Structure 1
Amino acid sequence: MRRGLLLAAVAFVSAPLAARVPVQVIQVVKAYPHDTRAFTEGLFFRDGMMFESTGLEGRSDIRRYRLEDGKVLARVALPPNLFGEGIVDWKDEIVSLTWRNGFGFRWNLASLKRGRKFTYPGEGWSLTRTDRELVMSDGTPVLRILDPVTFRIKRRVTVTADGVPVQNLNELEYVKGDILANIWMTDRIARIDPATGKVKAWIDLSPVVAQQQSSQDDVANGIAYDAKGDRLFVTGKLWSKLYEIRLLPAR
């Protein structure tokens, strides 16, 4: 999740990855350009456009760009003292988190004009949504299910694999009734049952991670889904490509 926080990576429980949860491999359908300066924290696809948030103090922004060539069409910078985190669309707004500041913002989806601020306890890592609720990760095994208007916590779901809590839940995306979550500092995505928190499968991103990762910072992080076109996209921090992938049957 963060630059150089190796101690947090140690907290990741390796047992679930080696246990009985099935593994799905991927097939790359197409590769698109991605800004190698973008420290990707959040990603979603809407109305034919990709929306992305980036992190690092002094470099955090929210941007809208064309998928086909990566051209940025609109961008807004966060105040330089903030570390930007996950984003999600809700109606005509973008909801965004910051890492350790305890607050986030609502932005106009069309203009990217910043609106009101809201607060939350603890860290903010990522956001996704269902039709009725927002889902938030904070690096722990616990996902917060939130009211999209008040940001009030409605309930919590603990994510487990074979009964073991899964640490470092990072970027999220809601896809066909499941929550997909990058596991920070690994090449895996967890496919999570939102009702029980159980990991139904691991998605193995190692083929694309091997092409893109050259340091501890440029890890896989970023999942977006085009529901209309049934297309799934992944990328990572400082990666040169954003990949459209197809999930193959679990083994």
Structure 2
Amino acid sequence: MAAMLVGALLPGAVGVFGTGHQDDAARPAVLPDLGTPLGPGTHEVRLLRTDVRKTLAHDSRAFTQGLEFRGGTLYESTGLSGESSVRAGPPGKPPTVYAELPTPLFGEGITLAGDKLWHITWRDGIAVERDPVSLMERRRVAYQGEGWGLCHQRGAGQDRLVMSDGSDRLVFRDPDTFTATGAVHVRHDGRPVTRLNELECAYDGSLYANVYRTDTIVRIDPRTGAVIAHIDAAGLLTASERRGARELNGIAAVPGTDEFLLTGKLWPRMFQVAFVPR
């Protein structure tokens, strides 16, 4: 998509892969019309864009579902049944550690919580706890509903996981047991923002979410579910690169900076960016 989606999803085929939220292709992402003035009791939503600071290599075969950066290690999860994996290594380099998710499990988001790496699945209802160094599986925990994105929110009195399921709802979970502890619905000007996908819990306490099948990232106040910024991430790939790629679906805060790593499903490159005013 060449520009930020406003109000409805631009048409786009699911592609030859036939999996990966394909049954949602006919339903538009519900994203507010930014040309409409905000009503009483609402707040201004910042309009941002990506400013590329660095370009890195990315495995163009990786069907990216989750991205997490800790220290000098980038963790990435990939999807598709029979091809799902978790990998870890320096950004822009081949992974140094790799673990497959056995068929028929379909991998989705990941996050680090202390000495745990949590790895969720799409419709299998299974969260896998892994060792963050070896990526070895430790145990499996069952949950209800679909799994899309996952991040760990800590600080400011919070220590919880945040999980998306493709709707406007974010579920909070205990980082040790994976038990659901609450939820919040994401709204802009009173209207739901749906198809929340890959998540990133930033160091300042805010939450970022890719909006599935768009080039938009929303910044969310996790206390209220209010959208506080829209980020236009269109134009990162060239037209030729876009033909072989799928959706934007990977966001990871770069430790010690106000920058982020962005990539997507089957993208040949990864971008280190800052979010700046449009």
TM-score by length of 2: 0.84
Q: Confirm or deny: 8 A CA contact 2:148 2:164 kept in the other structure.
A: yes
Matches within 5 A, 1:135-214: 135-175=162-202, 176-209=204-237, 212-214=241-243
Amino acid at match of 1:134: L
> Percent identity of the aligned residues?
40
**Counterpart for residue 144 of structure 2:** 121
User: Residues 47 and 144 of structure 1: is their aligned pair in 2 closer, same or farther, counting only changes over 3 Å?
Assistant: same
Name stretches of at least 5 consecutive residues in structure 1 with no aligned partner.
Answer: none
Could you tell me which residue of structure 2 aligns to residue 75 of structure 1?
A: 98
Farther off after superposition, 227-236 or 144-153? 227-236
The 8 Å contact of residues 131 and 137 in structure 2, kept in 1 or not, is answered as yes
Which among 3, 7, 15 is matched to residue 32 of structure 2?
15
> Do 1:19 and 1:162's aligned partners in 2 also have CA atoms closer than 8 Å?
no
Map residues 25-174 of structure 1 onto 2, 5 A cutoff.
25-67=49-91, 69-131=92-154, 132-174=159-201
Equivalenced residues, count: 248
Q: Secondary structure at the match of 1:58?
A: coil
| 2:274 corresponding residue in structure 1 | 246
SS, match of residue 97 in structure 1: strand
Sort the Cα spacing of 1:197 and 1:16 in 2 relative to 1 into closer, same or farther, 3 A: farther
Secondary structure at 2:200 match in 1: strand
State the shift of 1:6 in Å: 5.6
Task: Report the secondary structure of 1:64's partner residue.
Answer: strand
Q: Which runs of 4+ in 1 moved over 6 A?
A: none
CA drift of 1:15 comes to 3.2
Moved more, 226-235 or 14-23: 14-23
CA distance in 1, matches of 2:36, 2:273: 25
Contact 2:259–2:273 (8 Å) recurs in 1: yes
Structure-1-length-normalised TM-score? 0.93
CA shift, 1:11, in A, is 3.8
Change (3 A) 1:187 1:19: farther
How far the C-alpha of 1:237 sits from its partner, in A, is 0.3
| Amino acid of the structure 1 residue aligned with 2:76 | E
Deviation, 1:22, is 3.3
Which one is further off, 238-247 or 18-27?
Answer: 18-27
Change (3 A) 1:5 1:225: same
SS at 2:236's partner residue?
Answer: helix
Whether the aligned pair in 2 keeps the contact of 1:209 and 1:219 (CA below 8 Å) is no
- Pair 1:221 & 2:242 matched: no
Highest Rg: 1 or 2?
A: 2
* Structure 2 alignment gaps of length 5 or more: 1-13, 38-44
Counterpart code for 2:259 = R
